[in-house]
Structure 1
Amino acid sequence: MNLLEEQVYTNGTNHQRSLVLAYVLWFFLGQLGIHRFYTGRVGSGIAQLLLGVIGYLTAWILIGWLFLFILWIWWFIDIFLIPGMCREPR
């Protein structure tokens, strides 16, 4: 057991997040950034939430597609970032 794990267990809390739950949240609610809230990335979760809401609300005037395109690229990249987000304590 390394020093970080020892500190987590001695405090009586285990901050490890479920990888499966993070991927489920990513798949179903990822365009709202919910998986980032779950992994402790509140700032980027708010950014994804805003991109999604603004993008979907303004898609009918075409500017929203730019927001959604950025969000979808970020959402795809998160596939590879989720394991690290779950391992890293926040």
Structure 2
Amino acid sequence: MALPPDARSMMRYDAGKKSPLIAYLLWFFFGLFGAHRFYAGRVGTGLALLALSLIGFATIGTVLIVPLIWVVVDAFLIPRWIRSHNERLIDSLTRLG
């Protein structure tokens, strides 16, 4: 017996949606490594944050201030990123179904 199209869309949404809680946990524990940015699909800036943090740790200098400020600012941006991802997912599923 085949699933109705709405059920399939809901299953696809549940499988692909992002959670703000997971993003904040990644931000809290691995923020300087850009883990929350990778999770949110922002790979390029995640790599930049990771590189800046590694350089800061390697030089043990003031270079680490930039990633620290960046991570604090990200705390306010995470909800918008996750909402945007989930809305794009809904749009793509409604176009399919």
TM-score using structure 1 length:
0.77
Q: Deviations over 1:13-68 (max 9, x none)?
A: 32421100100000000000000000000001001100111100111xxxx32x21
- For these two proteins, the number of residue pairs brought into alignment is 77
Q: Rg: which structure is higher?
A: 2
- Aligned ranges for residues 1-90 of structure 1 at < 5 Å? 9=9, 13-14=12-13, 15-59=16-60, 64-65=61-62, 67-89=63-85
1:56-84 Cα shifts (integer Å, max 9, x gaps): 0111xxxx32x211111111001100001
With structure 2 as the length reference, what TM-score do the two structures score? Answer: 0.72
Give the 4+ runs in structure 1 shifted more than 2 A.
12-16
Q: Give the helix-richer structure, 1 or 2.
A: 2
Identity %: 45
Q: CA deviation at 1:88?
A: 1.2
Distance in 2 separating the partners of 1:46 and 1:34: 9
Equivalent-residue separation in structure 1 for 2:78 and 2:17 (angstroms): 12
Q: What's the secondary structure of 1:85's corresponding residue? A: helix
Deviation of residue 87 (structure 1)?
1.0
Check the 8 A contact 1:31/1:75 in 2, yes or no.
Answer: yes
